[in-house]
Structure 1
Amino acid sequence: MSTAELAPTGTAAPGPLAHDLVTRLAALVTAAPGRPRQASHAPFDGALIGEVPTCTAEDVAEAQRRARAAQVEWAARPLAERRAVMLRYHDLVLERQDQILDITQVETGKNRVSAFEELADVAMTARYYANTAASHLRPTRRQGALPVLTRTVEHHHPKGLIGVISPWNYPLTLAVSDAIPALLAGNGIVLKPDAQTPFTALIAVELLFEAGLPRDLFQVVTGAGRVLGAPLIEGVEYLMFTGSTATGRIVAEQCARRLIGFSAELGGKNPMIVLADADLDKAVEGAIRACFSNSGQLCISVERMYVEDAIYDRFVPAFAERVEAMELGAGLGWDADMGSLVSSDQLDVVTRHVDDAVAKGARVLAGGQPRPDLGPLFYEPTVLEGVTDEMALARDETFGPVVAVARVADAEEAVRRANDTDYGLNASIWTTAKRGAELATRIQAGTVNVNEGYAAAWASHDAPMGGMKDSGVGRRHGREGILKYTESQTVAVQRGMPIGPIPGQPLEKYASLMTTGLKLLKRAPFLK
């Protein structure tokens, strides 16, 4: 970001965003004139970042009207034109990364490398779907009812208007990465970003417009989910939601009443397994990233760690020592290993979980304290031992920089305990590649990483990503990540004889001929 876009500051934390920047971004929100404003504050120091309109149900309806009108023309454009927009967007995101990273850090409090992960994911998603949308969406020949005589083709049409409700923890990528395949499929978008992080979402959307996306096609409304969620769902054909499991259940009920499709990535209590044949040095570094990226505020981060007995007394002290050495910081440089939490609510949850566990007998091996000397929302990366089921930390999602380590006898116990949860989003296994791949299929999670924490599966954009059990419904990424935004249509053209009796043919004769034909078709190798 240029120095003109950060206001000066005399503190260690970065200054607020410049007034002209936040004013320009706030103007992208669809809101009637005179709406009250809601403020966004910087987690690093509590400073005011800027204000956006507090939208109403009427603003949501207007956003839907505009996007729906623009979608008709957009869907009529050749896919090649839509693809070109996304390739330009890919380049703009990479070219403007300093500006984007600064805004993301100022608004979320995360460290720079975590912000860069978001940015890289946006670029990778744009590239992947720009390069694969044609193959995913093209009409596909299917087996017809009668060989040669029935020509059957599957088509995919845009659903129309897609609603996206995105969270605060990854406000850049989750605001636009789910929208990119929907746009390429010919849909319009209405986005409601989290009230805590509107400006990160808005800079992502502004660059889409700069890349050539029609202005009315992508609408943004800002405000509280409890106010805007229901009217948003009422006026779309499909909803993509990322957030808590509790809110996901409410969203699912609302979508079910309208009989519209939805996809949801929800909570997780993700396990990591470290076995005796793992490379311990790599496992320690991998665990740091798996547990503390984005200050642990990551749906797919690790909160439970199961270490095989044979290496427990070597691995756990080495891990705790490495955690104690982590650098926390509030600046915009690349030196901080971890940044701030995003809000006082998150700090309260982390503090409550750790204090409850310690009061009930858990032992702190590293961290365990807030750090107000660094900023109002900092909490040390924390490792706990001796966590038991009566502690909230054992089963409830903490969503912060806290991991519980436990000793297990062998891989069998590790897998059993990893699966002993209502969640099933992500998992990590550290062992030999072959053994890890075999064990991974026994883990009840939508993604499993072998000798990696989360990034290998997440960044494999050609493969589906999502949760089992209480961790979600549907998938993002891959073929499923774009086809969910389409309506499948089967067109069958019958030639020659009909599928039914020829006029005047005895029905018994028709049934006999069909029976003979079906028996012959069973033996036809090209129909297997």
Structure 2
Amino acid sequence: MTDVTIGAEAPALDPALIDRLTRRVAGSASGRTVPTTAPFTGAPLAEFPACTSADVEAAFARARKAQRAWAAKPARERAAPFLRFHDLVLDRQSEILDIIQWETGKARRHAFEEVYDAAAGTLYYARHAARLLRSARTPGAMPMATRAYVRRRPKGAVSVITPWNYPLALPVGDAIPALVAGNAVVAKPDTQTALSALWAIDLAVEAGLPEDLWIPVVGEPADVGDALVDGADYVAFTGSSASGAAIARRASEQLTGCSAELGGKNPMVVCADAAVDWTVEGAIRACFSNAGQLCIAMERLYVHDRIYDEFVPKFAAAVRDMTLNARFDFSADMGSLTYQRQLDRVVKHVEDARDKGATILAGGQARPDLGPMFHEPTVLSDVAPTMAACAEETFGPVVSVYRYTDEDEVIERCNDTDYGLNASVWTRDLARGRRIAERIDAGTVNINEGYGSAWASYGAPMGGTKRSGLERRHGPEGLLRYTEAQTIASQHYVGLGGTPGMSGETLARALTLGGRLMKRFRIR
């Protein structure tokens, strides 16, 4: 692993840009501010107004006022700014790549995944929203006599609460479909990575989104969390399973809808016929993208007995050869962790496994020589159920490898978890891959890929089962969750009560006969 620290070539963030972005925060009634530091160096990075519940309430008031005019526009007009937003993201990628790296410490190649996702996911909704939101005819109560259609109405003001690990992709991915659907958004990004979300909001306004439709607040969950749920007509949350459950409970008290993408302990199955070299390369990305701080990353690797002794040594050697550095170029295979608490958790899981008899095949050490929060990508074997790394989500650059012999056995082991977010199957036999995939309890399963195939299929839903989440982002579901279905039906020619003077008995006989005929002739 390459030992390279930040040099003089590191691009400094423009103070004028930081000032412009921080001014977008809703404001702070308390006058307090909260600082952030750069994971690469520990040096001060930015300072934001610390919002209060009163600031959140004021943001919702502004958002609701702006939303009324926005909702009255046709869907194609609402989508137009985001067609321009797509181009601006790609055109200005160097600027946002620097911001993401300074805020998160991730490698530039992983920061670029966010840029691509923000652009491509936006384009999907900008292209398809008008069709997905179009009113649709539906069979009425009485053929010919009843005409019914369903229209989609925006929820109103939506809370979008996003974490620090993907600070551009997640705020954009949740807020933009809400906006295109006709809602306003009050957004709460993680404080550490708020600049990335503020950059996206600033760019959307430049692209033509009216002010006050996407309002950011910054603050500690204890200060603003309840107000973000209580003031919203819908809550979109990404984060831990514990926090998601707490938000869902509070939202349910007000009968407010919510979606949540939460944690995962994702399995990867390497079949006996997998292409070894291709699978090794794919496993590197599946396990160590964003230093493993990815809810859909692989943390459990099940390798068939017939291929285990070839695959695992090659995989461990490739992990040992990974390049770690804090450069602002594409030379690093992996960057830094973002928070001290994440580094502490990684160290705890690795030390616990080592102390209880696990074997470290690669990595295993923090790397303060590279930066305050670097940790080597780590591969463990001989991991037992008593070890934290076995069942708990690490959310860091640690993967455990296990040997298996039977398809039914590996599926049972994949499903032996409270989580069900993502999974991965590697095989030359696509039919086998699909058969295994369909038996795994996960919201998405990738074949011969770790996570990107399902995630970047923007027309398909993305989300988890069990304690990994509620509802879905992406696809039609990712847009329609922000709407209320309204049915409008009109009656013509014949009333549902029959013709004037018709008795109840006659009406019952007529409806009975009509029901039988409609079934026979497949009218219903």
Q: If the TM-score is normalised by the length of the shorter chain, which range does it land in?
A: over 0.9
Where in structure 2 are the equivalents of 1:132-171 lying within 5 Å? 132-171=128-167
Q: Does 1:347 align with 2:364?
A: no
Instruction: In structure 2, give the amino acid aligned to 1:393.
Output: A
Q: Aligned residue for 2:315? A: 319
Which of 512, 516, 521 lines up with 2:518 in the alignment? 521
Which of 480, 484, 489 lines up with 1:483 in the alignment? 480
Q: Does 1:473 align with 2:486?
A: no
Which of 463, 481, 493 lines up with 2:490 in the alignment? 493
Instruction: In structure 1, give the amino acid aligned to 2:321.
Output: A
Unaligned stretches of 5+ in structure 1?
A: 1-8
- 1:504 Cα shift? 2.1
Q: Aligned residue for 2:419? A: 423
Secondary structure of the corresponding residue to residue 216 of structure 1? coil
Where in structure 2 are the equivalents of 1:214-253 lying within 5 Å? 214-253=210-249
Q: Is the 8 A contact 2:67 2:184 kept in 1?
A: yes
Q: Aligned residue for 2:390? A: 394
Q: Does 1:358 align with 2:354?
A: yes
Which of 254, 267, 272 lines up with 1:271 in the alignment? 267
- 1:10 Cα shift? 7.5
Secondary structure of the corresponding residue to residue 215 of structure 1? coil
Kindly tell me: are residues 343 and 12 of structure 1, through their superposed partners in 2, closer, same or farther at Cα, counting changes over 3 Å? farther
Q: Is the 8 A contact 2:30 2:51 kept in 1?
A: no
Q: Aligned residue for 1:414? A: 410
The two structures, once aligned, show a CA RMSD in angstroms of 1.3
- 1:175 Cα shift? 1.2
- 1:32 Cα shift? 3.9
- 1:328 Cα shift? 0.3
Q: Aligned residue for 2:173? A: 177
Instruction: In structure 2, give the amino acid aligned to 1:437.
Output: R
Q: Aligned residue for 1:115? A: 111
In the TM superposition, what whole-angstrom CA distance separates every residue of 1:203-247 from its partner, at most 9, and x where no partner exists? 111101110111111100001112111011111100000000000
Instruction: In structure 2, give the amino acid aligned to 1:389.
Output: P
Q: Aligned residue for 1:203? A: 199
Q: Distance in 1 between matches of 2:291 and 2:234?
A: 32
More deviation, 264-273/25-34: 25-34
Q: Distance in 1 between matches of 2:344 and 2:432?
A: 40
Which of 396, 400, 405 lines up with 1:404 in the alignment? 400
Q: Does 1:26 align with 2:9?
A: no
Moved >6 Å (runs of 4+): none
Q: Distance in 2 between matches of 1:284 and 1:105?
A: 26
Secondary structure of the corresponding residue to residue 76 of structure 2? helix
Q: Is the 8 A contact 1:308 1:411 kept in 2?
A: no
Q: Is the 8 A contact 2:304 2:403 kept in 1?
A: yes
Q: Distance in 2 between matches of 1:19 and 1:501?
A: 74
Q: Distance in 2 between matches of 1:384 and 1:373?
A: 23
- 1:512 Cα shift? 1.1
More deviation, 72-81/145-154: 72-81
Q: Distance in 2 between matches of 1:488 and 1:79?
A: 16
- 1:506 Cα shift? 2.1
In the TM superposition, what whole-angstrom CA distance separates every residue of 1:484-519 from its partner, at most 9, and x where no partner exists? 101100011111111224332222121111111111
- 1:526 Cα shift? 4.4
Where in structure 2 are the equivalents of 1:443-482 lying within 5 Å? 443-482=440-479
Where in structure 2 are the equivalents of 1:6-17 lying within 5 Å? 11=7, 14=10, 16-17=12-13
Q: Does 1:502 align with 2:499?
A: yes
Q: Does 1:436 align with 2:438?
A: no
- 1:164 Cα shift? 0.5
Instruction: In structure 2, give the amino acid aligned to 1:172.
Output: L
Unaligned stretches of 5+ in structure 2?
A: none
Q: Is the 8 A contact 1:17 1:50 kept in 2?
A: no
Q: Is the 8 A contact 2:6 2:326 kept in 1?
A: no
Q: TM-score, normalised by structure 1?
A: 0.97
Where in structure 2 are the equivalents of 1:273-292 lying within 5 Å? 273-292=269-288
Instruction: In structure 2, give the amino acid aligned to 1:406.
Output: Y
More deviation, 266-275/71-80: 71-80
In the TM superposition, what whole-angstrom CA distance separates every residue of 1:329-382 from its partner, at most 9, and x where no partner exists? 101100100000001100000000010011001000000000011001000000
Instruction: In structure 2, give the amino acid aligned to 1:103.
Output: I
Kindly tell me: are residues 34 and 504 of structure 1, through their superposed partners in 2, closer, same or farther at Cα, counting changes over 3 Å? closer
Q: Does 1:47 align with 2:15?
A: no
Q: Matched residues, percent identical?
A: 54
Kindly tell me: are residues 133 and 458 of structure 1, through their superposed partners in 2, closer, same or farther at Cα, counting changes over 3 Å? same
- 1:11 Cα shift? 3.7
Q: Distance in 2 between matches of 1:506 and 1:162?
A: 50
Q: Distance in 1 between matches of 2:254 and 2:8?
A: 50
Q: Distance in 2 between matches of 1:476 and 1:222?
A: 23
- 1:424 Cα shift? 0.1
Q: Distance in 1 between matches of 2:461 and 2:74?
A: 26
Kindly tell me: are residues 285 and 375 of structure 1, through their superposed partners in 2, closer, same or farther at Cα, counting changes over 3 Å? same
Instruction: In structure 1, give the amino acid aligned to 2:22.
Output: A
Which of 61, 72, 79 lines up with 2:75 in the alignment? 79
- 1:268 Cα shift? 0.2
Q: Is the 8 A contact 2:11 2:98 kept in 1?
A: no
Q: Aligned residue for 1:4? A: none
Q: Distance in 1 between matches of 2:6 and 2:459?
A: 46
Q: Distance in 2 between matches of 1:425 and 1:338?
A: 23
Q: Aligned residue for 1:378? A: 374
Which of 117, 122, 125 lines up with 2:121 in the alignment? 125
Q: Does 1:65 align with 2:61?
A: yes
Q: Distance in 1 between matches of 2:450 and 2:521?
A: 47
Q: Is the 8 A contact 1:14 1:106 kept in 2?
A: no
Q: Distance in 2 between matches of 1:32 and 1:305?
A: 46
- 1:78 Cα shift? 2.3
Secondary structure of the corresponding residue to residue 191 of structure 2? coil
Q: Aligned residue for 1:511? A: 508
Instruction: In structure 1, give the amino acid aligned to 2:475.
Output: G
